[in-house]
Chain A
């Protein structure tokens, strides 16, 4: 046990060196920055816009426009019978970015059944998403004013203005939900993209770490010395798997937080997933088991591939087949429902062990636990077989010579 811990610590220390960790951290930092940028737009639009209001109209409808802006915006300049250019200058001097001009005769035209014109002048100082965000708020207030004028002019009530009250019942795989399909679709899309991407990252990063570990040993020429230490080969394999998994999960955790920041910046943190589709503790445990076996299988498979790495650069290339196996099911289940696929495609996806953790949340959400449990059983068998293969390879000449017949030659060619 002492030797296992010592070797595991060595792996973790080696893989946590800045030269390996910094490139991995770059993308999460980008995601966090993007999330914060989108959050900044929300913040910019959550406050009141600063506007100037010029009312050249003396009727009651002009007063409604004026009142609406006084309530919904910070009016930094108020004027009447003043030129638009002068009013804009004063508004700008007071810190405003938009000017609303209600012309004379506005109320009379509406009373005569015509449209009353309102001019909105906006200054965009910064050509950015945040810079133009407040102009939408100014437009929104104009819509509020128009509705109030309609009610005043016609005496109509809310129900008359919006006479149809739609109530939605959507049936999804036998479960009824009181939400329109569009809301469900948007909620599920966010869940079904986020979860597969995170799981894909966990698998790819864990694999990358263990392949890196082998690449580093080869590059630093430390592997042969390590293999002649008085330690069982299975202990070396276990230490490499656990050490790499620790760093891989850490990297995936950082990515998950970054993605969640990004998503929350994009959606404002709101999740519209109906309660009927929320998962309980038992279901999360099942998903956890699916992820665990997938990661173990990926690590063992990556360790076997890593044996054929000439150096760290070659190791990165050898990650390619594993990445394909992780990405394919993530994308397939993002855009299609497993049950609607053709039988050969279903069989192909089922055979990829990394499909099951990706699919598990969706299947459990819809109460299809049979497929999930069968997938986990398959994953467990795959993981055990992959570990067995890793131990076998570590006990063979291949770990030193990197040669394994046609497969070894192909993997060596891949690294050129």
Chain B
């Protein structure tokens, strides 16, 4: 049996009196793009941050490529790359400099990774400008490239196209769509159901800190007797 790229079992997490995650369980297979979908405050970002070792869980287990995040956090960090919903780059670095900074944590010779990143970011000559001069779209493209150029086993992308215009969003979606390979998976969260339907092989619907349904977009639509994923989402989280 193939080991899951990501396995989340009975994850619970609270912030003081607020129970953010009640019982989150799902698995992501190698080569799969998995979408985590839910209303605001459902616990998507908390789940992704916990998987990415940023937050500690109250209970439950998370393994990335077999490495347990509680016992081998560095092995988990080596296997994944996380792009938060709101992220920036170091403003005193150029785009290329930022890619080089990130790449140098993953390879002794970062140059090939940087070249891959430059190509993925598709910023043209602006890649050599300071990131402080970038628009939001350019920064997002740079960060997506920085996340994927190191070819992580698991890329965690929180709202990857949030705030982007149509052209940039399309470009980022294409980059994500072409990313998975035999050992490369993606977990993403998004409020855009068309995007989720287009990108994701499987989807987990999260509501009030629990995964209430998982399946391919088609399965979820069929299961709820609705016409599309957006309606299925509304039906399940009603």
Q: CB within 8 Å of B: which residues of A?
A: 3, 6, 10, 13-14, 17, 220-222, 224-225, 227-232, 396-397, 400-401, 403, 405
Contacts and interface: CB of A to CB of B under 8 A. Distances in A.
A159 to B, nearest CB: 73
Given A229-B105, A232-B74, A224 B82 contact: yes
B15 A222 contact: no
A97 B153 CA distance: 86
B78 interface: yes
Interface in B78-98: 78, 80-84, 86-92
B55 A400 contact: yes
Contacts of B11: none
Contacts of B105: 3, 6, 229-231
A17 B92 contact: yes
Interface stretch (B46-54, B168-176, B183-191): B46-54
A6 B104 contact: yes
B53 to A, nearest CB: 6
B90 A228 contact: no
Nearest to A219: B88
A222 B88 contact: yes
B101 interface: yes
A230 B80 CA distance: 9
Interface string B57-86: 000000000000000001001101111101
Identify which of A232, A397, A405 gathers the most chain B CB atoms within 10 Å of its CB.
A397
A230 B102 CA distance: 10
Contacts of A230: 74, 77-78, 105-106
- Those 5 A-B pairs whose CB atoms lie nearest each other, nearest first: A221-B88, A230-B78, A220-B88, A228-B82, A230-B77
B237 interface: no
B56 interface: yes
Interface in B139-158: 143, 146
Nearest to A232: B74
B90 A220 contact: yes
A397 B55 contact: yes
Contacts of B16: 403, 405
Contacts of B106: 230
**Could you say which of A13, A227, A229, A400 has the most chain B C-beta atoms within 10 Å of its C-beta?**
A229
Contacts of A220: 88-91
A39 B83 CA distance: 58
B144 to A, nearest CB: 12
Contacts of A400: 49, 54-55
B74 A396 contact: no
A224 B77 contact: no
Contact of A228 (B15, B53, B56, B89): B53
Nearest to B87: A221
Interface of B: 15-16, 49, 52-56, 74, 77-78, 80-84, 86-92, 101-102, 104-106, 143, 146
Given A17-B92, A396-B56, 6 more contacts: A220-B90, A221-B84, A222-B88, A227-B54, A228-B53, A232-B74
Contacts of A231: 74, 77, 105
Contacts of B56: 396-397
Contacts of A17: 92
A224 B54 contact: yes
A58 to B, nearest CB: 81
B90 A14 contact: yes
Given A3-B105, A400-B49, A14 B92 contact: yes
A227 B88 CA distance: 13
Contacts of B104: 6
Contacts of B143: 225
B92 A225 contact: no
Contact of A222 (B53, B77, B81, B87): B87
15 contacts: A6-B101, A6-B105, A17-B92, A222-B89, A224-B49, A225-B87, A225-B143, A228-B53, A228-B54, A230-B105, A231-B74, A232-B74, A397-B56, A400-B49, A400-B55
Contacts of B52: 224, 228
Contacts of A14: 90, 92
Nearest to B54: A400
A225 B101 contact: no
A220 B131 CA distance: 11
Contacts of B80: 228
B74 A228 contact: no
Contacts of B83: 225
Contacts of B146: 225
Given A224-B87, A230-B78, A401 B53 contact: no
Contacts of B102: 229
Contacts of A13: 92
- Kindly name the residue among A225, A230, A405 whose own CB sees the greatest number of chain B CB atoms within 10 A: A225
A224 B89 CA distance: 11
Contacts of B86: 221
Contacts of B77: 228-231
A228 B87 contact: no
A189 B156 CA distance: 62
B56 to A, nearest CB: 6
A229 B104 CA distance: 11
B49 A225 contact: no
A396 B143 CA distance: 25
A230 B87 CA distance: 18
B53 A10 contact: no
